[in-house]
Structure formats: C-alpha cells, structure tokens
Structure 1
Amino acid sequence: MRVLALAFSFSLAAVAPASAQLSIAFDKYHSYAEMTAFLREAAQKYPDLASLSSIGKSYQGRELWMLTVTSRKTGAPDDKPALYVNGCLDSSEVVTSEGVLFTIKHLLESHGRDARVTRLLDRRTLYIVPRIMPDQTELYITTPQNARSQSAEPMDEDGDGRIDEDADDDVNGDGHVVQMRIADPNGDWKISDRDSRLMVRRQPGEFEGAFYRVLAEGIDDDGDGRYNEDRVGGIDPNRNFPGNWAPVHVQNGAGPYPLYVQEVRAEVEFLEKHRNIAGYLNHHSSGGVVLRPSTTHDDSTIPAGDLRVLRVLAAKALDETGYWLATSVYDWRWPPGTPDMKPGQTWRRPDGSLGNDPREAAGGPGGGFGADAEIDHVVPQAEGEATHAYAAYGGSIEFTYEMLGIISYASEQWRMAWDHDLNKDGAISDLERLDWNDRHFGGSLFINWTKARHPQLGEVEIGGWKKYTTSSPPPGKYLEEESARQLRFNLLVADMLPQLDVASAEATALGGGVYRVNARVRNAGYIPTATEMMVKVRRASPVVATLSAKGEVEFIKGPAAQPLGHLEGAPAGSAGAEWIVRVKGAAPVEVTVTASTPTAGRASRSVILK
C-alpha cells in the first residue's frame, strides 16, 4: 500500500557518539533484569535528560520502573506539559514494552542532534513506564507458558477452592505451548482442504470426514475434565480502573473492586498527583488499531470539542503508523457483526487512503458525515479473528479521560503478516498468514502437527503458532519496525500537547511614570490547555498571566496575576492581559509577563518601561 510504504521509511534521524549509544538491540524480547539494566544505563549515560524512579511495586515485589525524560537544563520535569506512556498493561502483549524501550533509546540518542526531539525534550516531559505489569510479562518471556494479560495474584477461577492449579503445560517438552487436536467424531473442527496445517470450523449438516476437538496444549492438572482453566493470576488490570468499573458478573476479570490490583493503584495515584500530564498513551496488541475513549458508551457523552481533538489526533496517528482503523473502544466490532465503518471511526481503504477522515468536510462528528455519505469499503474480518464483545468496563483510557480529563489513547500494535495481503481486500486471512510464514521464515513460526502421547487423552497431535507471531512480532526486522511505529505515535502525541507562549508584550507610556502593559498569551499546542471534560470534572486550572518587575511598581489597574481561562489549541487559542502600572523610582524598569498552567507549562516575555 502507498501509505504503508511511507510509514516504514522511518529511521533514527541521528546517531549518538559511540560513548553515548545505549546497548540494546531489538533482536530479542528482554527480561525484567535486562530491561532494568537498560534503564539504569540510560539514566547513567544521560543524567541531564533521564532519571530513573519507581512508582510502586508489583504483586511479586518487582519495581515499577519509570524513566522521566526531559531536558533538566530547561526546567524541572513537573513544570512542563507531560505525556505519560506505558507498556504491558496487558502483560502478555510484550511488543508494547519493546516499543517503549525503543522510544527511550531514540529520544536520548537524538537530543541535540535531531531538531524535533530536541525541541520536544526542551519543552515537554515524558513519564515512561515500560512494563506496568512486570510479573506476568516475565512469566511470558522466560517460560513456555502463555501468561495471560492479568495480574499475578493467585485466583480461584474455576471455583474448586484451589488457586492457579491448572496452568499451561508443555506436553511434549519442545519448549512451546501451542495447541492440541484430538480426533473426535463429535468435534467442531476439521483440517482445511487448502492447507493441512489450518483447522477450520465444521459446517452444519457436515457428517462425512475426520473431525477434531482443538484445545490449548496442557494437562488436566486438577482432574475436573477441563484444561488450563485456572492459570496463573486472574484479574485483568485493564478492567480494574475506577470510573466505569463493573463487578465480575458484568465484566469478566474486573476483580473484587476498582484499584484492587496494586500496579493499577500505583499508576492511578501517580497520574492524579501529576497535574501537568496532558496526554496518556497505553499500548496494547494486536490488530493495527488506534483506540480512543469511550470504552462503555457511544460518543454522545463526549463534549464536541474534545471529540474533535480525539478523532483528529487518531487520524493523524493512522498517518504516522500505517495502521488500519481509528475508533473508540466501544465501537470496535460492536455490536458484533457490524462493520468498522461507523460515524466516529476512520478506516484505511485497500488503496491506503483514509475513509471518514475527520480532517475533511464529510468526516464524521465535526465534519458532517450523513446518511448520504458514500460507503466505499467494508473492513472484513479475517478467518479466525475473534469478535470483540465490548463494552469494556474499568478500562484505563476511559478513566484517564472521563475522571482526569486527559486526552487518552491506546494502540493495538502489530498485525500479523500485515505486508502479505495477497488479494488486497484489507484483511489478512489464515492462509495468507501461513504463506507469509513460509516465504519470510521458511515455515519456522508454525509448529506442524505432530503426534504425541498425552497422559490423559492418549494419542493427540500438537501444533500451531509459536509465541511471537500472532500477538507480538517475531524478533528482528518486524519487531524493530513495529517499535518504530509506536515511537511515531508517541512523538505525535507529545508534539500535540498544549504549550504556552507569550506571543507579545508591549509597553505604552501614558505620562507621569505610568505605563500600560499589554500581553498576548497563546497555546502553541494542538490540545487545549484544559479539555472540556477536565473542566467538567473540576480538575482544570486556568492559564494565569503574571506581571513582575525588576524594581518597584504600583499596580493601578489589573492585579499582578490575572486568570485568562482555558485556551483552545492552536491556531485559535489565545487571550490578552492588560496592566496599568506606575514606576516608583527612576526608569527604565524591566517587567516580565509570565503565563503558566500545569498542563501547558510556563512561558515568559520581558519589556522595558522607559
């Protein structure tokens, strides 16, 4: 596709001197110890740009490392508008953590050499948490188990009074946990007549041929007739955030109450205390999708100005990443069976262009999408792709937007065989995935079905996709490319944060040592200094313009500190301030106008009264 070719032209814009280069390569997935060593190296080699701290501890006692990245020479981190980025909230989605580490490497090695990165770190702060749920991520990376996207605290998921007693098992000892197929005349699956590796659904009324049951590879460890039904952990951290949380009979994996998961609680407390955070990015996999709020309801409750910002930035993220869809979580494949072409969605056509782009006249809410708008392409589902039955209660980006008012996104990184859409229909079928594996990897990513002796089931066949294929890319070229996509998304949102600028400051002599001082303060960023939701939930601080003097002055009109309200994003967002002052003593006197608000930083401009 034309757009995708552009998306992958990215390369590191500048190469740091050998002494400052960080010793990490993206030809593997990194353990917790390796990640920790990299973060410590980053803080040690770049002390003016990076500092390492912990926002809390995991259930198993690991530090929740956070690298704060900004230029200390231009101000304290908490005094600048900030973007918060995390990876591995869903702990098995390990590509996200590697992308965060890739972002750190690029930022630190490029400052002072790349104009964009230099400007960004001079004026903004990034709070970066590469691995917010490190316990299960470590299990996933260092063992054959397919650790789930859940916390590590043991839970009794099958109601038998025991905890975590039926986890994955590597039945044939080959170092992989894949799938088992068992011959069964009542089975729901059969071998595809197009590729013997592919299992397809048995059709209604189909009675002739060989049929199978298909299970995850494992043993019935607790003797209840089920396999791998009580794995390690059991609470989904991305269903445990406050706000629109719901109990487990409504939302599976929600836990007993919101903020029960201590890693989630640590993140929430950090976000609440740092009022300079104006953007939140929470990376996931997979699908090649940019997600935005809401997660439990349609767009009708989102203020129009906020919705416009959310949709436009999501469309720009499609430009940067080459992904296929920008949508609210709620609308993504919901209701089941509906196409991803709803008024609030933006999709990529087979030719690479975007449909329902909010930056165009007929681009959905804010752009006039109507019943007569042309439906030019229905995004199909690939064979075997699961239907996401959202709403998603207790999700992170609904909390950060609806309770904190922060512009928030999640990504669904990586789409297996994204570059192998042979029939150009916009979907990647299972057959195309298998062909991609054969052509690019010599078939090595798929374990061919092989007979094995199961201690309970007797003869079975074991096979299927290896771990780093479907939800995270294989190490090497595809991992680095996917990490570069995340970097571009991170840079985009960081660039769009609100940023105060004192565009002008002028003094007019009125006689008798009296002067009028006028200033124009603007928001140079695209995101407003306070979203409409931030105002609604009473977390918004106004922009304040303050006049100070190097010398003694008397304020005749206007207080020294003047609230200017909230400023829209550029180019419209600006406000004026005026003071009339009398100089006490001899002129000239230098006065300075300083504008500040937590989400947009601080800016100053001086003028001489003479």
Structure 2
Amino acid sequence: MLIFISSGLKAQSDTGFEKYHTNREVQQMLNEFSSGNAKLHNIAESPGGEPITVLEIGANLSDVPAIFVGANFEGNVPLATEGALYLAKLLMDSTAYTKNVKWYIMPQPNPDASAVYFSALKTGQATNLFKINNDGDEATNEDGPDDLNGDGLITQMRIKSIEGSYIVSKEDARLMKKADKKEGERGAYKVLTEGFDNDKDGLYNEDGTGGINVGIAFPHLFPYENKEAGLFAGQTPEVYGILRFIFDRPEISMVYTLGTSNFCLVPPKGGRKGDANLDKLKIPRRYASMLNADANKTYTMNEAIELFKAVVSPGTEVTASLVASCLSLGPATNPLEDDLVFYEKYAEAYKKYLKAKDFSTETLDPVPAKDGSFELWAYYHLGVPSFSMQLFSVPKVKEEAKKEEDKDASDDKKKKEEKPDKKDELSEKDKTLLAYSDAELDGAGFVAWTKVDHPDFDEVEVGGYAPYLETTPKADKIEPLLATQLPWLLQLSNELPEFAIADKKVTDMGGGIFKLELYVANNGALPSPISMGQRNGQPAPVILTLDGDMELLEGKLRTPVGAIGANQVKKYAWLLKASKNTSITAGIESAVFTDVVEQIKIGG
C-alpha cells in the first residue's frame, strides 16, 4: 500500500504545475489527455528527433469553428509551454468552452530548443538542431559557446583591449556600456559571447549547434537576412508541419500564441514602411479610363470597390482582395484600422480583468511580434483574429516614496529630480532586471564577472545576465500566473462570429412570382471576416444557399454572404417562381462556422 501511495503521489506531481516539464514529460501529459473527446496528432519530427504534436479537444465535434493555440515557438520560454498544458487541462475539466468549439493545442513546437533549458549547459538559444553552416566554411556546428567559468550558464566575456568599444558603467559596475566618443569616452573592453574560437577563423561562437529558430520561420515578413530563420519559410520540418496542419483545417477561426508578445495587452504595432495606404489609393492610368476614375485623385478602398462594381460582370463579387490584386498593392504589412478597433477594445477589457484580479501590469513592456513569427502569420495570412499573451514579464522597479520634507522643495529642484541627467543613468530595463535579480533571485539573475584563462586574450572576465532571466520565473510562480491570466483566453473564445437567419419575408408578387427576403445575422462580438481577412480573401467564404422546387428569376442559388460586422444583420433578396405551399430550403454554408438550415414555405 505504501508503494501504491508513493507512486500515485509521484504521478500527480508529474502532471502538476509546480515545476517546468521536460519534452518527455510534456508528451506524457498530452498522451494522458488524449482520450475520449481528445485526440493527439503527430504532425512532424524535429531535426533532433523529437515529436511535434497537437492535442485536439473536441474530436467528436463536427461542423464547428476551432481555435488553434501554439506556445513557446522560440523554445526559450518554458512558461509558455506550461501555459498551453494548463489551458488544455482547463478545457478537459469543463465542457463550458468545448460545447460548440473545437480546440487544437500545441505546447512544444520547438522541442530541440526547449530541451536546452533542462540541459547541463544553459544557453537560452532559440534554434533547433537543423544543420546550418552559419559561417560558410567546410564544417557545421563547430564553433558554439563554451562554458569558461564552469557555472553551467553561457553569458558574456569582457576582454580588456585598446580596440574595444565598451566601458564599465559608472552607474553599476556590473554592466557594460558603449563608449560615447562625443563625451570623450574611450573604449577599454570588447564584449563577446562566452567561448573559444574553436575553428580558428577569428570569429567567436558564430557557428554553434543548430539551427533554425522556429519562432521566426513563418511566411509573413520572413527575415531572409537572419540566418537563424533558415533559407525560406517552412524549411524546417516543424514549421512545414504546422503550416500543413492548419491549412488542412479551414475551420480554424481564431489563433492564440503564448510567448513574448502580448496582443491581449498591447494591440499589434504598425509603422512598417512599404504598406499601401488604403485611404489614399491611386488608380493607375491604364485602369483609370476603364473605371471612369481620375488618375490624379486618391480614393478610399470602399470608393475603389464601387468603381470596380460599376464595370465588372453582373454577379461578380468585388472585394478588397480583388481590388488589391488588380491595383498591385502588394502584401499588407501593418494592421488595418478596423481590426485595431477590436484589438484596442479587448486590450482595455483585459486590463480591467487583470485589475479586478489585483494582477499588476507594471512590468517591462512585451516584445513586439517578430518578423516571421507565428502570431503575425496567423493575422496577415490566415486573416483571423490572432491574440498573443506573455505570461510573465519582470516587474518594474517601484519608485521610493518621497520624504515629507521634499514637498517644500523649490519648483526648480522638483523639476531636476523628476528629469535627472540621462547621460549615465541606467536604462529602465537594466534597472528592472538588476532589481529583480537581487530581490527575487538572490542575485542569481546576473553572473558576477570572474577572471578566466583564455588562450587568445590576456585579460578576460566572464559574467552578465543569466539565460532565461526575462522569461522564466521561479517554479512556485507558475500556477498562480497561469490561473490568473489564461481564463481570459477562454472568455475570448465566446466572441467568435455566429451566423443565423434572423428573419425572413415572402411577398406574393402575383402570377406565381414571389419575392423572398432573408436577413442574415452575425450574432458574435467579432466581425466576419476581420478586415485583414477581407483584404487577403481569407478565410473561406460563408455562402447563403437556396434549394427547392422553384425557378429563380433574380439572384443566385449560392450567394457569398461577404463581410458582416459584429452583431450586425444583412438583407438578401431573390425573385422566384413557385407553386403556392412549396417549401424551399435556405441555408448558411461555411467551412469555418456551424451551418444553418431553415425551411421556408412559399405562399402559405
């Protein structure tokens, strides 16, 4: 009995959230989840031989929308993996959010990089084990970092050199800063990643183990100049498997990403150059006469759509995607204004949600989504709402309360205190990280500079910020962080578009001819599709269908519903010839959302 109890306690511990889980433990948990209404899909194998799996919750459901959740694409945010597992457990324990929605959850898309957190040598790397010759010589993976001080962490080395461009910060001797020549400062150190020049090419740690960073290897704004992204999007099997899996499932109507960006809190950023201004479109002269447009004038997208409608064949649907293609506008690179409306609305709601839970957002700002990231690809290419969440960020330093006697200080002195000289002051990020390391980690977040012997240099010290400092809190923080924030994603799942035939009207025009009017409603809190979906023609269109014993005089048997805003209604009309008391079938057909079928009696 004692053996049975102890083994039971061990099993419970392995599936709890009081620690970070290895790749093997993650797969064990997913296998435990995959029973009954859940199914585990093996979609790829990493270059290191690790499985890439997706847990489908709601496998017995059909004709329902789905939400895809991906976590820890860069592999160096283990808390994100825990978040995906925790979310899966929440869904498995309750039917409230799985009744009419299917979920696909992928906790570990970059297991090769994820494994490094649990290795004897922690580098914080985001690359997998795909063999890439970064320095273009005849060998691969021959010059990675080396643990010179034997602490199991790869940090930095500062090298005393008259050719150096760094000096020790006057504000905190732990930090290095670029020498400012304008201020008469002269560099005294070189700063490199901890290691040797193993291949003797004069470069240090430029060709380490692996690889491709799965988190920046997706098609949108693929960073060709970054060797860690690979040669092309989908080159590495993890990314190709994810792309294939999602494209094969058109029912995916919303995407969540757990990592370092946070669209839940901060709407996607714009400002990228090269994006067409959809409020000031120029019509090329070769199209202007055909469209009866003025080539010297600018048009909004809606105005351009009306110009196209006037010249296309009857029944042709003119969309923003069609106009963008004809006018050669190129791909969108900035979020569209109409979409920012709902992003900003939900960001404000999320802040109120966190405030009600007494959860502070006074932390370092989330990292903007990177070019080639999964969350950007989901928004720009799939054309669906893409929300990301950063589950942990280092709390900012709280300013000390001013002393009572300071209240009587002069205005000039106050201004000086509020706006100190910035020249030598530490950045907010450095202040925050150092304070967090000292207060929460007993200084372990920063490795003190220690002299080491190096074959290539006379004076070398190793130290600097420890890997995973910014992304990975202590294990006892895991469950409180997840339990507070992740329910918000469940709430967002209730915002999906939902179609219905809100009303119908049949008018007898005489002579066996009837006018049929149908009112199609989107009862959800999100538009369908979002503006980016309209721009790029994604996802699959919703179709309004008619079927029965009738002759259609005006209108089509299959009519694209087009865009419908949140909680909005659109009217569609047909003229048809039919016998009285004939019953026809009206339907809303969708590869994404639940189909709707309604019987309509004509003339009865």
Q: Contact (CA 8 Å) 1:564, 1:577: kept in 2 or not?
A: no
Q: Work out which of the residue numbers 23, 29, 41 in structure 2 matches 1:38.
A: 29
Segment drifting more, 29-38 vs 98-107? 98-107
1:311: how far off? 0.9
3-state SS in 2 of match to 1:55 = strand
The 2-side partners of 1:600 and 1:22 are apart by 39
Q: Within 5 Å, which residues of 2 pair with 1:87-486?
A: 87-109=71-93, 111-112=94-95, 118=96, 120-204=97-181, 211-242=188-219, 244-245=221-222, 247-248=224-225, 251-285=226-260, 289-291=266-268, 297-298=274-275, 300=277, 307-319=336-348, 322=351, 394-411=372-389, 414-418=392-396, 420=398, 428-457=428-457, 460-477=460-477, 479-480=478-479, 482-483=481-482
The Cα RMSD (Å) is 4.5
Q: How many residues align?
A: 508
Quick one: which amino acid aligns to residue 519 of structure 2? R
Structure 1 position 60 matched with structure 2 position 37: no
**Larger C-alpha radius of gyration, 1 or 2?**
2
The 1-side partners of 2:391 and 2:400 are apart by 21
1:216: how far off? 2.0
User: Match for residue 334 of structure 1?
Assistant: none
1:498: how far off? 2.0
Q: Point out where structure 2 has 5 or more consecutive residues left out of the alignment.
A: 1-8, 280-300, 303-319, 321-334, 353-359, 402-417, 420-426
Quick one: which amino acid aligns to residue 523 of structure 1? N
Structure 1 position 565 matched with structure 2 position 561: yes
Percent identity of paired positions between Structure 1 and Structure 2: 26
3-state SS in 2 of match to 1:438 = helix
Structure 1 position 29 matched with structure 2 position 20: yes
Could you give the per-residue CA deviations for residues 391-442 of structure 1, whole angstroms, max 9, x where no partner exists? Answer: x6655455444444333355555432347476999x8331232223322333
Q: Contact (CA 8 Å) 2:44, 2:51: kept in 1 or not?
A: yes
The 2-side partners of 1:290 and 1:164 are apart by 39
The 1-side partners of 2:221 and 2:125 are apart by 23
3-state SS in 1 of match to 2:28 = helix
3-state SS in 1 of match to 2:87 = helix
Q: TM-score, normalised by structure 1?
A: 0.69
Q: Contact (CA 8 Å) 1:290, 1:411: kept in 2 or not?
A: no
Quick one: which amino acid aligns to residue 285 of structure 1? T
Q: Contact (CA 8 Å) 2:134, 2:227: kept in 1 or not?
A: no
Quick one: which amino acid aligns to residue 29 of structure 1? Y
Q: Contact (CA 8 Å) 1:40, 1:52: kept in 2 or not?
A: yes
The 2-side partners of 1:21 and 1:121 are apart by 25
The 2-side partners of 1:29 and 1:158 are apart by 34
Segment drifting more, 280-289 vs 194-203? 280-289
The 1-side partners of 2:571 and 2:128 are apart by 47
Structure 1 residues 508 and 582 mapped into 2: Cα distance closer, same or farther (>3 Å)? same
Q: Work out which of the residue numbers 586, 590, 597 in structure 2 matches 1:597.
A: 590
Structure 1 residues 453 and 245 mapped into 2: Cα distance closer, same or farther (>3 Å)? closer
Q: Contact (CA 8 Å) 1:244, 1:296: kept in 2 or not?
A: no
1:165: how far off? 1.0
Structure 1 residues 419 and 206 mapped into 2: Cα distance closer, same or farther (>3 Å)? closer
1:102: how far off? 2.3
1:86: how far off? 1.1
The 1-side partners of 2:394 and 2:152 are apart by 22
3-state SS in 1 of match to 2:90 = helix
Q: Contact (CA 8 Å) 1:505, 1:606: kept in 2 or not?
A: no
Could you give the per-residue CA deviations for residues 228-259 of structure 1, whole angstroms, max 9, x where no partner exists? Answer: 211222434455434654644xx554433332
Q: Contact (CA 8 Å) 2:113, 2:127: kept in 1 or not?
A: yes
Structure 1 position 527 matched with structure 2 position 537: no
Segment drifting more, 153-162 vs 232-241? 232-241
The 2-side partners of 1:171 and 1:148 are apart by 17
1:34: how far off? 0.9
1:66: how far off? 0.5
Quick one: which amino acid aligns to residue 58 of structure 2? T
The 2-side partners of 1:577 and 1:71 are apart by 38
1:81: how far off? 1.8
Q: Contact (CA 8 Å) 1:145, 1:177: kept in 2 or not?
A: yes
Quick one: which amino acid aligns to residue 405 of structure 1? G
Quick one: which amino acid aligns to residue 35 of structure 1? V
Q: Contact (CA 8 Å) 1:147, 1:232: kept in 2 or not?
A: no
Structure 1 residues 466 and 530 mapped into 2: Cα distance closer, same or farther (>3 Å)? same
The 2-side partners of 1:534 and 1:543 are apart by 12
Q: TM-score, normalised by structure 2?
A: 0.70
Segment drifting more, 182-191 vs 482-491? 482-491
The 1-side partners of 2:585 and 2:120 are apart by 60
Structure 1 residues 459 and 352 mapped into 2: Cα distance closer, same or farther (>3 Å)? closer
1:483: how far off? 3.9
